[in-house]
Structure 1
Amino acid sequence: MKLLGRNTSLRVFIQAVIIWVLFEQVRVFFRLDDPSSNTSSSGTPSTWLPEHNVLKLLDDYKKAHNVDTLNAAAAAAADASNNTRVYVVGQYSCPFQAGNRIFHFLNAFVHAVILDKPLVWKYCTTNRICPRHGKVEDCNQVLNRADWIPSYQAFVLGSANNPKTELLHGRGRHLKREDILNVSKREIALDQLRYPDATDVVLETRILERPFLGAWLTAPEIREKNILSLEAYARARMLFAAGSDFAYGALFHVAFQIDPSILPEDESLAKLKLEHPYSTSLAMHSRHQQKLDPGNDTSTEELCLKKAYQMTRKSSGFLHAPPPCAMVLMSDRSVTLDGLQQTRPSGCTPVLATHQKGQSFRSEHGEFAGAGFFQDLALAQHAKDAVVLTYRSSASELMRTVWRYQRFMTNQTGKIVACTIRDPNGTQCDCTSERIGPR
Structure 2
Amino acid sequence: MPPPYDPRPRRRWPLWAGLGLVLVLLLCSATVVLGVRALDRSPAAGPPSSGPASSPEPGDPLATTQAWLRQRIGALLDQQAGALLRGDEAGWLAVADQTAEPVVADLKRRFAALRAMQVTTWRPTVTSLPMRLEEDGRVEWRVPVTVEHCFVVPQCRTGPVDLSTRWIDADGRLAMVAIEPNQANGPRPWEVSELVVQVGARTVVATTPDLRSRLPELLGEAERAAAVADRFAAGGTPPDRYRIFYAGDPEWNRWYGGGRPEWTAGYVVPVGGDHYEVVLNAKDLHSSVLDDLLRHELTHAASLPGDGHTDGGQWWLVEGLADYAAAAGRPVSRYSSLDEVRRLVAQGSWSGRLADTEPRPTAEAWEVSARYGIGYLAVRHLVDRFGEERMLAFYRAVVVDGKSVEDASEEVLGASWTGLHDACVAYIRSAVG
TM-score tier after normalising by the smaller chain length:
under 0.3
TM-score (norm 2): 0.25
- Structure with the largest fraction of strand: 2
Using CA pairs under 8 Å that are at least 6 residues apart, name the structure with larger relative contact order, 1 or 2.
Answer: 1
TM-score (norm 1): 0.24
